[in-house]
Structure 1
Amino acid sequence: MVSWSDGYVTEIEYTHGFYRELAPAHLQFALLCAGLSRPPDHGFTWAELGCGQGFTANLVAAANPQSRFFATDFNPSHIATARRFQSEVALDNVTFSENSFEQYIEADLPPLDYICLHGIYSWISSENRAHIVEFMRRHLKPSGVVYISYNCYPGWAAIMPLQRLIYEQGQASGGPLLDRVDQALQFVQKLSESDTGYFKANPLAAQRLNQLQKQNRHYLAHEYFNDHWHPLFVTQVAAELSPAKLMFAASANLLDHIDALNIPQSARELFASVKDPLQRQLVRDYLINQQFRRDLFIRGAVRLSPLEQLEKLRQQGFVLTQLAANIPFKFQSPLGEVALQADIYRPLIDALSEKPTTLGQLTQHSGLKQLSLERLLEALMVLVGANWAAPTLPEADLAQRRQSTERFNRAVLEQSQYSADLQFLASPLIGSGVGLDRIDQLILLGLIRKQEAAAFAWQILSAQKQTLVKDGQPLKTPEENLQELRHKETVLVQQRLPLLKQLQVVA
């Protein structure tokens, strides 16, 4: 008898993650940067396949209340959790279904503008991948967009034996799945510290193993313990999606759009000689040893004229999602550490700190007039790609979005009294999520309730026998914990709160 799980991990639940690339405003900006027409910014239809706990679907539904959202997962525990939170927020524009991919093909859905799946495609069998493609063929609109992320070659080639060893050790061990995850990691760690030929020949595998030791065990169970685990080449994915009339459009990662950040100088002439768009993606993956792709495919691409693209870009608004003082002015790219040019990024960040601003308005800003529109756009793509800024939604319907996200955020804050599962609040300005950890959520909830916030947070944490950690060490006394909470309250009020207000996460 075939299990209903079809080899997929169901013994434990997946994490309550939020993935910003699934937010429609982010997808629209990526398409616009690629010069492609995009679905409308409101009144669209959006579906997620393999939605897990449904947190991303609930958040984007709250932040885009005039659009319709659909999400499915075959794990009943996941759907029960998603529906419970949906009920708490009183969201009437999202529908959760407990269906396999094969069953969801027959779902009664409107034609879809977006179909999204994060990570799922490389974790499932070829039969289920075929069901997904058939779902896309039947339900995606002409000019509809698919967001699909997946483990890929060649970056996983050296690490695949590590995944297989962890999987096999987990299968051979007994007991609950989380215990088996720990047992497998402990065994493989000891093996890596021995005179092992595989780890000597593959230093990347040892680095990955060290990273795994620090990661959420629920995530690792789903990433490493599925029976079907298949990294794919981008050309394979494109071939599999072709029966749904889909063609590769762009990367959802804005940093991928900038060749100077990804292609070594010595290879740029050779890379430029590759004219086929899909082959360019494949060659690019080899140049940077890509391990994970975030792709956009489109069903019937409509390319914008240069003038139309320019006008839409000039109208696009942006806002910082990180406090300006905390932007490090450097980030890691496939070519190594990249330092931002202060003469470009400092006035740009200062301008965005003042208020949400369109690209057209930025071209007229006194500190930015010397920059070409193309250079300014590239700088904005870097800020968005690094998650220091985000594209904004139009002001129309902002009041309705604010009402919906206020309910969502209050539900998240209330939940912080019981767990640290939900780490994001919703912004009506960007139609997406803003990270805020549990401690800050508890302090913010105390402020909203007009209580002494640090004492309020400590009352909840101490009742659950939890303490704070400072400099890697747990704080032992109530006085130490209260002192640290008061410090965190000061930082929240002086630094995070102004940013949350600009993003309209809080009033």
Structure 2
Amino acid sequence: MPVSPDPDARPAGADAAGGASAPGGEAGGYLRDAGYLYEFFPDHGPAWLNTVAALNGFAPRPLDDGFTWCDLGCGHGVSALALAAAFPRGRFHGVDLNPAHVAFAEALARDAGLKNVRFRAGDAAALSEPLPPLDFAVVHGVISWIDDTTRARLLDGVMAALKPNGLMMISYDALPGWAAHRMMRDMMVNVTRDVTGDSLARAEAAVVWLRRLRAGGATFFRDHPALGRAVDEMRDDRLTYVAHEYFNAVLRPFAFNEVRTMLEARGGQFVGRAELFLNIIDLCAPEALHTELAESRSRAEFEARRDFLRNETLRRDVYVKGAPLTDAAAWDAAQDGLRFGAIEPVSVLDRDVPFGGVRVRFDGPPFDDAMAHWNRAPGQPLPDAAHGGDPALGREITRMLAAARLVEPMAPRPDWTPSPPPDPASLADAPLAMPLAFNRVACRRLGMVAPRVPLAAPAAGAVVDLSAARAWVLLGLCTAGRAAAPSWTLEALDAAGQGPRKDGRALTGDEAHALLTAELDALFADGWVSRLVQLGVLTLA
């Protein structure tokens, strides 16, 4: 339930960075006349990237003594900001070609008092000051949206900046799934070439055209049903996504081996997919196709086969500037050093997990004991009792639950010992506070423009992602108390010219108040307030 009545509205000052109305404009083909989405990506975080490395036989990066992380193409900086708040011992950098994105991120960092994050506008390979040595780098989506020369400079720069054994997450539009998308994209660009206005106007016109074709029974959508579903998902409140995905001057999907070749030439080695389940044969394809994957003669062939079986449209890959661990004991130690926890309350987790063509239910032993432990003690090692004293079984339990996203990677402070989540009844009328300035600012600022708001838990080394409506009502709870929280939230939203929405419809008056009251009650009943107190996002006032 987004809070903003106009999710495509850009923050003040955004037009100053706008380019020509033609797709792309300058900056190597990257579209700059429309801001991108406001999103937090969990798999960009250092704990997540370390998990991908350790589970696939590579050394994780040390975090306790400080580290450096950079997002090349950071957009509005939401991931960089939330991670900087969650990991105060790290140094975070965000670079983006759109100055309006950077201006938004800098303003939020300033208001939140974050001293360990820095943003810069421009081409990452042509900055006046070079990138610092990096433990972690993120390049999300960008390489599909820029020309060959800019792409080569970007990859040269980031691989040169990575420290030995540094990790990079890189995502891109993928083949074979994007082959048909590319044909649709070319038609979208062509039929809107005479539309006046910016890229958002062209995106809106293209979506109207596609809906008309789909409703009229166009054979293209009959033969490509996945693209019909893609059109159905092109909601009016996602036009910024449509503009960036389809209206950059360059749109280049890649096969896995194309990107692997580019990065190996620069000293990189493929580690694994950021989506943990895609590294596991039993989860990434139906059982009837397991043999097709098991017969792969190399990891590169496995990746190519799996992409073909799944008709992959997007890849989220992790690379390392180094080599894999060669000692089994070192690999075991790397996995044993990982930390996980139940971020969502166990009561709301669905143990019946879909993985595309596979569905697995994570009930009963040994999963129940592990989930109970990580509910009571997130971020703490799995005790022997949970795996019968068999460390190998413990690693497999952990790997499967993490792949299912029933538990999430964490990097707690060494001195943090969590208490069990408090009884929700004990918190029903307790005065609560939101101590971290970033979280208060995120509720207010991101809650206006984003469908979801990330809240940092520094002691746990984690980020909790909530709907904007729930973030706002939590802020009301901590500001005005439970009884007055819905009214306070409505007044605050009204003062900002905003309001809650449901199914795309703006709500007012009693209907809006009832909706916010229901959201607040659910936060208590589902155990969210208890979990947020346990993780330190909320405290007793």
Same fold? TM cut 0.5: yes
Which residue is 1:122 aligned to?
144
The correspondence for 2:184, drawn from 162, 165, 182, is 162
**How far does residue 405 in structure 1 lie from its aligned partner after superposition?**
8.4
Q: Is the 8 A contact 2:413 2:460 kept in 1?
A: no
SS of alignment partner, residue 409 of structure 1: helix
**How far does residue 238 in structure 1 lie from its aligned partner after superposition?**
0.8
Which residue is 2:260 aligned to?
238
**How far does residue 232 in structure 1 lie from its aligned partner after superposition?**
0.3
The alignment status of 1:502 with 2:525, answered yes or no, reads: no
Letter in 1 for 2:36: Y
Map Cα deviations across residues 258-308 of structure 1 (whole Å, 9 max, x no partner): 110113333333422322221221111112221111111111114052223
The alignment status of 1:61 with 2:84, answered yes or no, reads: yes
- Name the stretch that deviates more: 183-192 or 459-468: 459-468
Map Cα deviations across residues 109-154 of structure 1 (whole Å, 9 max, x no partner): 3321111111111121111110112103421112111110111011
Map Cα deviations across residues 56-80 of structure 1 (whole Å, 9 max, x no partner): 1122122222222222112111111
The alignment status of 1:276 with 2:298, answered yes or no, reads: yes
The correspondence for 1:439, drawn from 451, 454, 469, is 469
Superposition RMSD on alpha carbons, in Å?
A: 2.7
Which residue is 1:177 aligned to?
199
Map Cα deviations across residues 20-65 of structure 1 (whole Å, 9 max, x no partner): 1110011111111112112111311111111111121122122222
The correspondence for 1:456, drawn from 488, 493, 506, is 488
**How far does residue 469 in structure 1 lie from its aligned partner after superposition?**
4.8
Which residue is 2:73 aligned to?
50
* Distance in 2 separating the partners of 1:265 and 1:153: 23
Alignment TM-score, normalising by the size of structure 2: 0.85
The alignment status of 1:247 with 2:269, answered yes or no, reads: yes
For 1:330-345, what aligned pairs fall within 5 Å after superposition?
330-345=352-367
Which residue is 2:53 aligned to?
31
SS of alignment partner, residue 513 of structure 2: helix
For 1:60-459, what aligned pairs fall within 5 Å after superposition?
60-104=83-127, 107-213=129-235, 216-303=238-325, 305-356=327-378, 358-361=380-383, 363-365=384-386, 368-369=387-388, 373-396=391-414, 406-415=436-445, 418-420=448-450, 423-451=453-481, 452-459=484-491
Letter in 2 for 1:487: A
**How far does residue 465 in structure 1 lie from its aligned partner after superposition?**
6.2
SS of alignment partner, residue 310 of structure 1: helix
Q: Is the 8 A contact 2:170 2:318 kept in 1?
A: yes
* Distance in 2 separating the partners of 1:268 and 1:445: 48
* Distance in 1 separating the partners of 2:62 and 2:115: 20
* Distance in 2 separating the partners of 1:50 and 1:348: 37
Structure 2: 5+ residue stretches without partners: 1-19, 418-433
- Aligned residues, how many? 498
SS of alignment partner, residue 261 of structure 2: helix
Alignment TM-score, normalising by the size of structure 1: 0.90
SS of alignment partner, residue 158 of structure 1: helix
Which residue is 2:421 aligned to?
none
The correspondence for 2:516, drawn from 478, 481, 485, is 485
**How far does residue 422 in structure 1 lie from its aligned partner after superposition?**
6.1
Name the CA shift for 1:461/1:108 in 2 (closer, same or farther; >3 Å). Answer: closer
Q: Is the 8 A contact 2:204 2:236 kept in 1?
A: no
Flag the structure with more relative contact order, 1 or 2, with Cα contacts below 8 A and sequence separation at least 6: 2
Letter in 2 for 1:364: A
Percent identical pairs in the alignment equals: 26
**How far does residue 359 in structure 1 lie from its aligned partner after superposition?**
4.1
Name the CA shift for 1:102/1:467 in 2 (closer, same or farther; >3 Å). Answer: closer
Q: Is the 8 A contact 1:359 1:377 kept in 2?
A: no
Letter in 1 for 2:143: Y
**How far does residue 448 in structure 1 lie from its aligned partner after superposition?**
1.7
Letter in 1 for 2:513: L
* Distance in 1 separating the partners of 2:379 and 2:281: 26
Map Cα deviations across residues 66-113 of structure 1 (whole Å, 9 max, x no partner): 222222112111111111111112222222111213313x63333211
Q: Is the 8 A contact 1:314 1:358 kept in 2?
A: no
Q: Is the 8 A contact 2:454 2:466 kept in 1?
A: yes
